[in-house]
Structure 1
Amino acid sequence: MGFARTCSVALVGVEGVVVEVQADLEPGVAAFTLVGLPDKSLSESRDRVRAAVVNSGAEWPQKKLTVGLSPASVPKGGSGFDLAVACAVLGAAQRIDPRTLTDVVMIGELGLDGRVRPVRGILPAVLAAADAGYEQVVVPECAAAEASLVPGMSVLGIRSLRQLIAVLADEPVPQEEPGEAGRPDPLLTGLRMPGTGEATFLHSVGAAQDDHGHDLADVVGQHAARTALQVAAAGGHHLFLEGPPGAGTQ
């Protein structure tokens, strides 16, 4: 038998809920069961994760595999759980020491080739992890700058599952070519990570923003509306403002 757990974040509207991702391996006919109220896109992670693990040079366990997402009552969707599911499985299979996974939050989609792809809602997800007391998060490299805006959070930006396995197993980190830029937060246009070619924990990121001549800081008052705009932009959500111009208070 083998067991490992790590964490990810489920977004319910604009609120994040930390989800414990548990993997259990038992003797029996090889099967992969995912439980915990996943939606269709999350259920498909079984195929993405299996292909990504194999194409990253790791062995897929030929046992009865159950992955549970807790709390089970919270609806979970999207591909952002891929990274956490893959690492939990590798921890249960002893490819990674399970103890290195317990206090880390992982957010990212996996391609079939093992590359880590960006997902929406990185900032609110990392904020939720910080509020829950976590201090380390793993995200796609192109989203590391956005995640590093959360105070006190150590961010590991990676390009591939191979890199993450090497970091967690204390092995030499393989070089990877830069991947797609993804969809940056509209409020962070111009923010880019340096191409180090190597995964490293980042405690602070210095970057400059493009000057478009307009800034929400120039708006007087309207604190609720400004906060709503920032949250909607960070999570890629729709926004509806009602009322005639000037109806707000200062």
Structure 2
Amino acid sequence: MLSRVYCASTIGVDARLIEVETNMSTGVPKYFLVGLPDRAVSESSDRIEAALKNSNAEFPKGRITVNLAPADLPKEGSAFDLPIAVTLLNVSGQIKTDKLEETLILGELALDGKLRPVNGVLPMAVQARDKGLINMVVPAENGPEAAVVDGINVYAFEHLTEVMGWLHDMDSYQPLNVDVKKMFRRNGEQEILDFSDVRGQENVKRALEVSAAGGHNVIMVGPPGSGKTMMARRLPTILPPLTLDEALETTKIHSVAGLLPTGEALVTKRPFRSPHHTVSDVALVGGGSIPMPGEISMAHNGVLFLDELPEFKRSALEVMRQPLEDGSVSISRARMSVSYPSRIMLVASMNPSPTGDWYDPADPGGASPAQMQRYLSKISGPMLDRIDLHIEVQKVSYDELSSKAKGEPSNEIRKRVIRAREVQTKRFMGIEDVYCNAQMNTKMSRKICTLDDAGKQMLKKAITSLGLSARAYDRILKVSRTIADLEQSENIRSNHIAEAIQYRSLDREGWLG
């Protein structure tokens, strides 16, 4: 007798349906599991046997062959426990149903029959719906995550006996429903960081507003204690709220990585990732024998903050160059190749010198030219070219620190950012993978960022005197377009160009040799 049910396996942030086929015939009792299972899948038979016995069911006796198709695709993880158990119950006649071939089933089994959560449920639910499946059975903890996807009936259970009861009488169970709008509202009420807590630093807050409005990468240079980290952590509070599509895309990555917070079905706030400077190349961009997303992908649709940028290994920074440019990370291994999205805002900070103070060659107690060169050589010119705004952060004065007057709240800044983003949304409507000014390619920026004669002369003088690269030239054009969008100006004027040029301070002579 043959029984078949669908499961799924993740490849990158997408999923692929897996057919679990179980055949039982007479002969010497033997259990075969084929179809390129990994060790976790191969060990499933002992878990399943114990779970069945502790759920008042029997492990069938006979010659049993379980095939995971397609056979050439590696199968990983413990999500195959429950679908294999269901097919075993079906071939042995302990359950009878004709609904298995329209149902996706997944879950890990504990020895007592309880269902344990698995990773990657959201992309699996999307794939099941797209392939026309009607029902989906998942562990209770994964239920809300799967139910976010419209168009498929999700049933969430805590124990194998509940799954057996559902298979005997499906009509007596109601599918799980979740309120996505409520999820967005709840997370919006949990915001505790706010720009109103920042005293002074008006020029820095203005630059971060420009950065948020256009999705630009930014680096802050200033001495310790000047508020660089404090302001970076508040940057997500002025970014536009996630759309549902962005939230689903972001949740897929966190789900596949197994980092979706307990009790949360959807990532509704823009991610903020801040890896330590000892992070490895693989941890930063992703990889491993089984390719997993790195920090740059975990920050997709959000902010990746690299504090003390020169302390990061140069090799780790260099492998980020292409993902920053392309908005995705491609990881190739002998067994598979996967791609993870990495459309982020890079925010970096650094001290102006190894001693932490602004560099002064005449200061005998400061850093020597050789020390400065070693310190700054960790950041390559091509890496710096990919950062649109360079901001000098000065120490806050006592009067500003002791002032009782609060700064402008994040909500007010966010309103201006959203208005600027709305202009960009209309501008790039119909253009794939371009949502803000920072994502324009060279051809688009030259076409959209047109300058008047005064602006051209100002930019020419800056390029000549500072010796900027072609990429830096494009960055200035994009930033000036964003500044104009913040002012709701259709044309880029000379004052917009002047402000954008001010944000290229690291291109000045004496910084990178």
- TM-score, normalising length: structure 2: 0.40
Q: What CA distance in whole angstroms lies between the structure 2 residues aligned with 1:144 and 1:61? A: 29
Structure 1 alignment gaps of length 5 or more: 174-198
Q: What CA distance in whole angstroms lies between the structure 2 residues aligned with 1:45 and 1:85? A: 9
Report what 1:212 is aligned to. Answer: 190
Would the alpha carbon gap of residues 226 and 57 (structure 1) be closer, same or farther in structure 2, given more than 3 Å must change? closer
Q: What CA distance in whole angstroms lies between the structure 1 residues aligned with 2:132 and 2:33? A: 26
Q: How does 1:170-189 map to 2 (within 5 A)?
A: 170=169
Query: Could you tell which deviates more after superposition, 221-230 or 18-27?
Result: 221-230
Report what 2:175 is aligned to. Answer: 201
Would the alpha carbon gap of residues 126 and 30 (structure 1) be closer, same or farther in structure 2, given more than 3 Å must change? same
Deviation at 1:218, TM superposition (A): 6.0
Report what 1:232 is aligned to. Answer: 253
Q: CA offsets per residue over residues 122-166 of structure 1, 9 Å max, x none?
A: 111111111211121000112111101101110000011111111
Report what 2:124 is aligned to. Answer: 125
Report what 1:190 is aligned to. Answer: none
Would the alpha carbon gap of residues 226 and 63 (structure 1) be closer, same or farther in structure 2, given more than 3 Å must change? closer
Deviation at 1:32, TM superposition (A): 1.1
Contact kept, 8 Å, 1:24 with 1:65, in 2: the verdict is yes
Give the residue type in structure 2 aligned to 1:238: P
Give the residue type in structure 2 aligned to 1:239: G
Query: Could you tell which deviates more after superposition, 51-60 or 93-102?
Result: 93-102
Deviation at 1:84, TM superposition (A): 0.4
**Identical columns (%):** 31
Would the alpha carbon gap of residues 249 and 19 (structure 1) be closer, same or farther in structure 2, given more than 3 Å must change? same
Q: What CA distance in whole angstroms lies between the structure 2 residues aligned with 1:249 and 1:19? A: 36
Query: How many correspondences in the alignment?
Result: 223
Report what 1:67 is aligned to. Answer: 66
Would the alpha carbon gap of residues 59 and 133 (structure 1) be closer, same or farther in structure 2, given more than 3 Å must change? same
Q: What CA distance in whole angstroms lies between the structure 2 residues aligned with 1:228 and 1:26? A: 44
Q: What CA distance in whole angstroms lies between the structure 1 residues aligned with 2:110 and 2:145? A: 21
RMSD over aligned Cα atoms: 3.0
Match of 1:249 among 418, 439, 446: 439
Q: What CA distance in whole angstroms lies between the structure 2 residues aligned with 1:132 and 1:225? A: 22
Contact kept, 8 Å, 1:216 with 1:226, in 2: the verdict is no
Deviation at 1:239, TM superposition (A): 2.9
Report what 1:188 is aligned to. Answer: none
Give the residue type in structure 2 aligned to 1:5: R
Q: What CA distance in whole angstroms lies between the structure 2 residues aligned with 1:71 and 1:105? A: 16
Q: CA offsets per residue over residues 62-105 of structure 1, 9 Å max, x none?
A: 11111111111111110001110000111111111152311110
Q: What CA distance in whole angstroms lies between the structure 2 residues aligned with 1:128 and 1:218? A: 33
3-state SS in 2 of match to 1:52: helix
Q: What CA distance in whole angstroms lies between the structure 1 residues aligned with 2:117 and 2:131? A: 23
Would the alpha carbon gap of residues 222 and 163 (structure 1) be closer, same or farther in structure 2, given more than 3 Å must change? closer
Deviation at 1:212, TM superposition (A): 2.9
Report what 2:5 is aligned to. Answer: 6
Would the alpha carbon gap of residues 51 and 130 (structure 1) be closer, same or farther in structure 2, given more than 3 Å must change? same
Structure 2 alignment gaps of length 5 or more: 194-234, 258-291, 297-319, 325-345, 348-386, 389-437, 441-513
Contact kept, 8 Å, 2:52 with 2:59, in 1: the verdict is yes
Contact kept, 8 Å, 2:97 with 2:167, in 1: the verdict is no
Contact kept, 8 Å, 2:140 with 2:156, in 1: the verdict is yes
1:85 aligns with 2:84: yes
Q: What CA distance in whole angstroms lies between the structure 2 residues aligned with 1:65 and 1:15? A: 31
Would the alpha carbon gap of residues 157 and 28 (structure 1) be closer, same or farther in structure 2, given more than 3 Å must change? same
Q: What CA distance in whole angstroms lies between the structure 2 residues aligned with 1:101 and 1:134? A: 10
Give the residue type in structure 1 aligned to 2:96: D
Contact kept, 8 Å, 2:40 with 2:77, in 1: the verdict is yes
Q: What CA distance in whole angstroms lies between the structure 2 residues aligned with 1:128 and 1:216? A: 30
Would the alpha carbon gap of residues 100 and 77 (structure 1) be closer, same or farther in structure 2, given more than 3 Å must change? same
3-state SS in 1 of match to 2:136: strand
1:141 aligns with 2:140: yes
Give the residue type in structure 2 aligned to 1:42: V
Contact kept, 8 Å, 2:106 with 2:138, in 1: the verdict is yes
Deviation at 1:117, TM superposition (A): 0.5
Would the alpha carbon gap of residues 57 and 24 (structure 1) be closer, same or farther in structure 2, given more than 3 Å must change? same
Q: What CA distance in whole angstroms lies between the structure 2 residues aligned with 1:26 and 1:128? A: 32
Give the residue type in structure 2 aligned to 1:219: L
Q: What CA distance in whole angstroms lies between the structure 2 residues aligned with 1:167 and 1:238? A: 36
3-state SS in 1 of match to 2:129: helix
Query: Could you tell which deviates more after superposition, 224-233 or 53-62?
Result: 224-233
Contact kept, 8 Å, 1:4 with 1:98, in 2: the verdict is no
